Chains A and B, each alone.
Chain A
């Protein structure tokens, strides 16, 4: 989950009320925001679906409703700024969408700057998918002469001084030399042209989604922001702009709209129209398990910052604030009603759903296997299914095929095991300093490739056992394997077998009819030494399916 850090004092200032820190954290937790206080700082964990809570302004806005300080739909007196952005034809195949807005009456304090930096970073990481789907630019409007052009340039087509860099670079150089270019360059480096935002006098604002220019940077004297969001998805760029601007409005700054002219259409941004949703009180009560009157639901909805346009009988028409990007269905409103009502006030109930418990058949067999083998004095081991070809095949002196991981974390875990034997031998290696003898077993899944199976593989439950040390050789392990098969009610046969992991003449195959059950034998010296063991080892492996 994304996390942000807010200042307790800043949060109280935004709330317009001082709430004791511990109580505040508790309220936040009951809103679904995990809060952990350390001094003046509060660390908040915000769920993925609520990017509107990635700033102290957004959190305060929700808290004001939850605490009843200010309820209902927040209103934004959006006026036209007169600024236009002209998006030309060339962006269509490069980074097609832009949304922009103006914020006036800005007073920059440390808290504002810190929060603004943080919200951009967090939105970039979450909703914007590391700037892929959207990227934000904030500029000092005074340094810009509108109209602004959203266009593209050849990699060597233009030079400008990128932010925090002492000299001019070409776009291509930025990707190689500027820290942000190195970090995010992959998004555009294979494109024939790079996105560019430039004003009417030729001053570069930014090269989205990489970096802004030094010329248009925001300073402590900045009074008016120009904000843009560019990206691949129109919905996302609008959402990001809305979240960013409505957050700033919580500081008392004024929001103004910008006209974006595409070759074929013209839009006004940001779009702060509330979303209209219908909520049935019946559905809410049925889902949560309450008996609330529509009036009570309306009151709770306002607490959660919804506007209530009208209530007709059972059905409420709610106005969801424009920054709420997570609402997709009536159930999302219902959850908000439950949160507004208070999870701590919901009494658990236990319904009578009449069913009979039943163990999975394979687990029943597995349990029985565990009983037999622990009864014989074997100790159960539990190992990873993730392994590598060296352990699975090379050390076992055999060739084999297994499901392979495309993006392994380490060399050690690159395939899924297709036998339990290497796992058990590794477990014996883990015990090589312990006094002998050892008798261990494992009951677990392996994965075998199977073209006919739906996922191209099958889980196969197996049981395997290994013994090392004096007087525990082939005869003993074979007797143990047969004891298990006998208890499992299998009519088995034993055949001489050759197997590269076993000593020649000391390996046998276990079968039932024409089904192969498994193997039993004494491990080949090369395998023993390969697993750094120095005593004879005998093993069996049996299919439990």
Chain B
């Protein structure tokens, strides 16, 4: 054990306690120590704890009873007991009436009563009735008592100097103590006393030179500018002790996943576009070649609006081309074979698929290459519970370029998944009304140990593309964002994607 290192590690208070303990003979109670160093007892105890943790001091707790002289007792210690004062007065004047003696002894009524009780009990005086008055006469015992203090008087004097440990008193003080307690002059207190004692290691340390320099708790502006910091010794902090945690302001967990995904797509060269919350049925459905009588367009699937009542349609030429594709198809296609209704196209609807945004983009950017994505809120006619939300995020993207193939689509999906840090992906046929061929991708999540369907993709149908004057293949993919975010965030209740409990938000590590 390096003794110097131990000394280095000691605070000013600790050193002081150690040295004082040596001065007090290697062992002392905390109270005595505190008095000696003129520090408060808790400071001493904190230092003692530090010293005992280093094995320099051993602390012990002892319970003991203490006799304390109460206020009345202290009065008597000064003025003597009432019976003593009466005895002395009586000895001075021979036989006298009680009233006369009490007056001469300057005793009040209460003291007179106490004095008489004890004179009688101790047999110091004789009580004689004469002419309606009571006269006192000194007895032999009383005479003897004049030159000798009683045991309780000795005890009072002792306790007047300082409190005494009951166990430290001699056996013959037991009875006087009981009497004084009975008279309400003394009380007994139970106390715990901490005793410190140097260990052999402590003694060894004390053989070294210990420099005592006053410690500073805070580095202050004054210390810095005056240059006094040079000489100052800074109190060592308990750097290991746990403190109160603080939390940073944070981006919402769901937003963190959005940001992560956005970053990946930007790195892959996709341009971000923004969708609309309120869309026309034309862009939300018609332009996607979703027939006007398609079940997804029914009232129990999407949220329609009563206000605004209508939206404005794009150029009549575009609307006519879309309508024709629905009704009769494009060259090589049969179309849906129903009567297209532009009044339905004008109806506003809460955007139910971010594809609306990507198709709007295609309509205004028909020339390749194009790589865009949209992360936006979409809406469904859904009751909110642990599995369903009425509004949730979708992430969707498209790639347009000559000669793109289905295998290229799989390549993009695979790259997104790899960039998400997920190891495995597998493909199977899927169905979306506006893509053909279509594909579903299952991704393996190691943390859940299961394959989950999180990506859907395909190549836009020609019936969608031709009316927009697009003559190149367009790959389109979508991510089941909520599912991905739930796994990313480790939550099971989909509503937690919108949870705003600050304690919860603080406790969540950033992704």
Listed in ascending order, the chain A residues whose CB lies under 8 Å from chain B are: 1, 29-32, 47-50, 126, 129, 133, 233, 235, 286-290, 328-332, 334-335, 338-339, 343-344, 346-351, 353-360, 362-363, 367, 370, 373-386, 401-410, 413, 416, 427, 430-431, 434, 438-440, 445, 447, 449, 451, 454-457, 459
CA distance A48 to B436 in the complex (A): 14
A-B contact pairs, 29 of them (CB 8 A): A1-B431, A30-B428, A49-B431, A287-B405, A290-B407, A331-B459, A335-B436, A344-B427, A346-B406, A346-B427, A347-B407, A350-B408, A350-B415, A353-B269, A353-B399, A357-B268, A360-B272, A374-B250, A379-B505, A379-B506, A384-B390, A403-B305, A404-B307, A405-B303, A431-B500, A454-B280, A455-B278, A456-B312, A457-B308
Q: Which of B432-447 contact A (CB under 8 A)?
A: 433, 436-439
Q: Give the tally of cross-chain contacts (CB within 8 A).
A: 271
| CB proximity of B153 to chain A, nearest CB, Å | 62
Whether A454 contacts B269 by the Cβ 8 Å rule is no
The answer to whether A407 and B303 touch (CB under 8 A), given A349-B411, A416-B277, is yes
Whether A457 contacts B306 by the Cβ 8 Å rule is no
Whether B408 contacts A386 by the Cβ 8 Å rule is no
| CB proximity of B373 to chain A, nearest CB, Å | 9
Partner of B276, one of A359, A405, A459: A459
Q: Which residues of B contact A50 (CB under 8 A)?
A: 431
Whether A439 contacts B249 by the Cβ 8 Å rule is yes
Whether A348 contacts B410 by the Cβ 8 Å rule is yes
Whether A380 contacts B250 by the Cβ 8 Å rule is yes
Residue of chain A at shortest CB distance from B335: A328
CA distance A388 to B308 in the complex (A): 16
Residue of chain A at shortest CB distance from B270: A357
Whether B459 contacts A287 by the Cβ 8 Å rule is yes
Partner of A129, one of B249, B252, B270, B293: B293
| CB proximity of B276 to chain A, nearest CB, Å | 6
B412, CB-defined interface residue at 8 Å: yes
Whether A403 contacts B405 by the Cβ 8 Å rule is no
The answer to whether A363 and B262 touch (CB under 8 A), given A343-B428, A346-B427, is yes
Whether A47 contacts B431 by the Cβ 8 Å rule is yes
| CB proximity of A488 to chain B, nearest CB, Å | 17
Whether B277 contacts A447 by the Cβ 8 Å rule is yes
B66, CB-defined interface residue at 8 Å: no
Whether B308 contacts A449 by the Cβ 8 Å rule is yes
Q: Which of B243-265 contact A (CB under 8 A)?
A: 248-252, 254-255, 259, 262, 265
B295, CB-defined interface residue at 8 Å: yes
| CB proximity of B280 to chain A, nearest CB, Å | 6
Listed in ascending order, the chain B residues whose CB lies under 8 Å from chain A are: 248-252, 254-255, 259, 262, 265-274, 276-280, 293, 295, 299-300, 303-312, 329-330, 332-338, 348, 350, 369-371, 377, 379, 381-384, 390-391, 399, 401, 403-408, 410-415, 426-431, 433, 436-439, 459, 461-463, 473, 497-498, 500-503, 505-506
With a 10 A CB-CB cut-off, give which of B249, B254, B506 has the most chain A CB atoms.
B249
Whether A289 contacts B405 by the Cβ 8 Å rule is yes
Whether A440 contacts B269 by the Cβ 8 Å rule is no
Partner of B438, one of A335, A383, A431: A335
CA distance A351 to B415 in the complex (A): 11
CA distance A31 to B429 in the complex (A): 6
Partner of A406, one of B267, B269, B304: B304
Q: Which residues of B contact A360 (CB under 8 A)?
A: 272-274
Other than A331-B462, A382-B252, A403-B348, give 13 A-B pairs with Cβ distance below 8 A: A129-B293, A287-B459, A328-B335, A328-B336, A343-B429, A348-B410, A353-B269, A359-B262, A359-B266, A367-B259, A374-B249, A404-B307, A431-B501
Q: Which residues of A contact B308 (CB under 8 A)?
A: 403, 449, 451, 455-457
| CB proximity of B132 to chain A, nearest CB, Å | 79
Whether B278 contacts A289 by the Cβ 8 Å rule is no
Whether A339 contacts B429 by the Cβ 8 Å rule is yes
Whether A380 contacts B252 by the Cβ 8 Å rule is yes
Whether A383 contacts B498 by the Cβ 8 Å rule is yes
Q: Which residues of A contact B274 (CB under 8 A)?
A: 360, 362-363, 459
